[in-house]
Chain A
Amino acid sequence: MAERLLTFSIFRYNPNTPEIKPYMQEYKLEEMPGMTLFVALNKIREEQDPSLMFDFVCRAAICGSCAMLVNGKPRLACKTLTKDLPSRITLLPLPVFKLIGDLSVDTGTWFRHMSLKTEAWIHTTREFDPRAREERMDNETALKIYEAERCIECGCCIAGCATANIREDFLGAAGINRVARFMLDPRDERSPQEYFEVVGTEEGAFGCVGLMACEDNCPMGLPLQMQLAYVRRKMAAAGLAARPQTRAC
Chain B
Amino acid sequence: MSVYQTHTTDVLVIGAGLAGERTAIEAATHGLDVIILSLVPPRRSHSTAAQGGMQASLGNCAMGYGDNPDIHFEDTVKGSDWGCDQDVARLFANTAPIAVRQMAYWGVPWNRVVAGRKKLPDGREIEDLKEYEGLITARDFGGTAKWRTCYTSDGTGHTLQYTMDSIVIKMGITVHDRMEAIALIHDGERCYGAVARCLRTGQLHAYLARSTVIATGGYGRLYGVSTNAVINEGSGMFLALETGVVPLGNMEAVQFHPTGMVPVGILITEGARGDGGYLLDKNLHRFMPDYEPKKKELASRDVVSRRMIQHIRKGYGVESKWGPHLWLDIRHLGRKHIYTNLREIANICKNFAGIDPAEDLIPVRPTQHYSMGGVRTNIDGHAYGLKGLFAVGEAACWDLHGFNRLGGNSLAETIVAGMVVGKKVAEYTLGATLDCPLQLVNEHVRRQESRINDLISGRLGKENVYEIRREMENTLMEYVGIFRNGPDLQKAVDKLQELYRRSLKLGLRSSGKYASPELASALRLPGMIRLALCIAYGALNRTESRGSHAREDYPYRDDVNWLKRTLAYWPPGAELPVLKYEPVKITELPPGDRGYGESSAANAAKSGNHTQENKK
Interface, chain A (partner B; CB < 8 A): 14, 16-17, 34, 36, 45-47, 49-53, 55-65, 79, 100-101, 106-109, 111-112, 115-116, 119-122, 124, 126, 128, 130, 132-139, 141-143, 145-146, 149-150, 152-153, 185, 187-188
**Which residue from chain A places its CB closest to the CB of B115 in the assembled complex?**
A139
CA distance A119 to B107 in the complex (A): 13
Q: List 6 A-B contacts (CB under 8 A).
A: A45-B517, A111-B43, A134-B100, A137-B134, A139-B113, A188-B107
Q: How far is the CA of A108 from the CA of B165 in the complex (A)?
A: 12
With A45-B517, A50-B508 known as contacts, the answer to whether A100 contacts B40 (CB < 8 A) is: no
CA distance A58 to B106 in the complex (A): 25
A50-B518, A51-B510, A51-B518 as given contacts; A61 in contact with B347, CB under 8 Å: yes
The answer for the CA separation of A191 and B112 in the assembled complex, in Å, is 25
Separation of A57 and B113 alpha carbons in the complex (Å): 34
Assess the B107–A134 pair: CB atoms within 8 A. no
What A residues does B135 contact at CB under 8 A?
133-134, 136
**Chain B residue contacts of A128, Cβ below 8 A:** 101-102, 105
B611 at the interface (CB under 8 A from A): no
Assess A121 versus B170: contact at CB under 8 Å? Given A50-B508, A146-B153. yes
CB distance from A237 to the nearest CB of B (A): 24
Interchain CB contact (< 8 A) of B201 among A16, A56, A134: A16
CA distance A65 to B44 in the complex (A): 7
Whether A134 pairs with B136 at a CB distance below 8 angstroms is yes
CB–CB B177/A53 < 8 A? no
Given A36-B352, A112-B169, is A139 in contact with B111 using a C-beta cutoff of 8 Å? yes
* B window 76-117: CB within 8 A of A: 98, 100-102, 104-107, 109-114
User: Which of A16, A64, A133, A135 contacts B514, CB < 8 Å?
Assistant: A16
Interface hub of B41, B162, B340, B509 (most chain A Cβ within 10 A): B41
User: Which listed residue, A53, A62, A138, A149, touches B515 by the CB 8 Å rule?
Assistant: A53
Q: How many angstroms between the C-alpha atoms of A109 and B113 in the bound complex?
A: 37
Interface residues of B (CB under 8 A from A): 40-46, 48-49, 58, 98, 100-102, 104-107, 109-114, 133-137, 152-153, 155, 158-159, 162, 165-167, 169-170, 175, 177-178, 200-202, 229-231, 263-264, 266-267, 340, 344, 347-348, 351-353, 466, 508-511, 513-518
Contact between chains at A57 and B44 (CB < 8 Å):
yes
The answer to whether B104 and A135 touch across the interface, beta carbons within 8 angstroms, is: yes
Inter-chain contact B352/A60, CB cutoff 8 Å? yes
- Chain A's nearest CB lies how many Å from the CB of B248? 24
Question: What residues on B are CB-neighbors of A107 within 8 Å?
Answer: 41
Question: Assuming the A-B contacts A16-B514, A111-B43, are A121 and B169 also in contact, with contact meaning beta carbons closer than 8 angstroms in the complex?
Answer: yes
Q: Is the CB of B177 within 8 A of A146?
A: no
Q: How far is the CB of A211 from chain B (nearest CB, A)?
A: 25
Q: Provide the bound-state CA to CA distance between A206 and B111, in Å.
A: 33
B101, A59: Cβ atoms under 8 Å?
no
Q: Complex: how many Å from CA A134 to CA B97?
A: 10
Does B44 contact A64, Cβ atoms closer than 8 Å? yes
Measured CB to CB, the closest approach of chain A to B395, in angstroms, equals 17
Q: What separation, in Å, do the CA atoms of A145 and B153 have in the docked complex?
A: 11
Q: In this complex, what residue of B is CB-closest to A144?
A: B109
Closest A-chain residue to B515, C-beta based?
A: A101
Q: Which partner residue on chain A sits nearest B175 by CB separation? A: A112
Q: Are the CB atoms of A133 and B107 closer together than 8 Å? A: no
Measured between beta carbons, the chain B residues less than 8 angstroms from A121 are 106-107, 166-167, 169-170
Q: Which of B44, B153, B166, B510 has the most CB of A within 10 A?
A: B44
Q: In the complex, what distance in Å separates the CA atom of A45 from the CA atom of B100?
A: 42
Kindly report which residue of chain B lies nearest to residue A127, judged by CB atoms.
B105
CA distance A57 to B352 in the complex (A): 16
Instruction: Determine whether the beta carbon of A64 is less than 8 Å from that of B518.
Output: no
* A36, A49, A120: the one within 8 Å of B510 (CB): A49
Total number of residue pairs linking A and B with CB closer than 8 Å? 187
Contacting residue for B40 out of A61, A65, A120, CB 8 A: A65
CB distance B158 to A187 under 8 Å? no
Q: Interface on chain A toward B: helix, strand, loop, or mixed SS?
A: loop
- The answer for the CA separation of A10 and B515 in the assembled complex, in Å, is 18
In angstroms, how far is the closest chain B Cβ from the Cβ of A77? 12
In the assembled complex, which residues on chain A have CB atoms less than 8 Å from the CB atom of B511? Answer: 51
Closest-CB distance, A218 to chain B (whole angstroms): 12
Instruction: Judge whether B166 and A115 touch: CB under 8 Å.
Output: yes
Given contacts A50-B466, A137-B110, 4 further A-B contacts (CB under 8 A): A53-B515, A63-B229, A108-B178, A116-B169
A146 to B154, CA, bound (A): 10
**Bound: A62/B156 CA distance, A:** 12
| A62 contacts B344, C-beta separation under 8 Å | yes
Name the distance in Å between A97's Cβ and chain B's nearest Cβ.
11
Chain B residues whose C-beta falls within 8 Å of the C-beta of A36 in the assembled complex: 352
Contact in complex: A63, B348 (CB < 8 Å): no
| Contact flag A50-B347 (CB < 8 Å), given A58-B49, A63-B49, A149-B162 | no
Chain B residues contacting A188 (CB-CB under 8 Å) are 107
A115 closest partner in B (C-beta): B169
- Tell me the nearest residue of chain A to B170, going by C-beta: A121
Judge whether B134 and A136 touch: CB under 8 Å.
yes
A74 vs B102: C-alpha distance when bound (angstroms): 37
Query: Which 3 pairs between the two chains have the least Cβ-Cβ distance?
Result: A108-B41, A136-B134, A50-B518
Could you tell me if B514 and A62 are in contact, using CB atoms closer than 8 angstroms? no
- Across-interface contacts of A56 in B (CB, < 8 A): 230
Do the beta carbons of A79 and B352 come within 8 Å of each other? Answer: yes
Task: List the A side residues contacting B43 at CB < 8 Å.
Answer: 63-64, 108, 111, 152-153
Q: Which residue of A46, A65, A119, A150 contacts B158 across the interface (Cβ within 8 Å)? A: A150
Most chain A CB within 10 A, of B159, B178, B515, is at B515
Contact across chains for A50 and B517 when beta carbons are under 8 A apart: yes
By the criterion CB–CB under 8 Å, are B155 and A146 in contact? yes
Q: Are B48 and A58 touching (Cβ within 8 A)? A: yes
CB-nearest residue of chain B to A153: B43
Query: How near does chain B come to A14, taking the closest CB pair, in angstroms?
Result: 6
Give the nearest-CB partner of A46 in chain B.
B466
Closest to A48 in B: B509
Inter-chain contact A34/B264, CB cutoff 8 Å: yes
**Would you call B231 and A185 a contact (CB within 8 A)?**
no
Task: Please give the distance in Å from B164's CB to the nearest CB on chain A.
Answer: 10
| CB within 8 Å for A122 and B134 given contacts A101-B515, A115-B166 | no
- B15: shortest Cβ distance to chain A, in Å? 13
Do B109 and A62 have beta carbons less than 8 Å apart? no
- Chain A residues within 8 Å of B137, by CB: 139
A70 CA to B102 CA, complexed, in Å = 41
Contact at A150–B155, with CB atoms within 8 Å? yes
> What chain A residues lie within 8 Å of B266 (beta carbons)?
59-60
Q: How far is the CA of A148 from the CA of B104 in the complex (A)?
A: 16
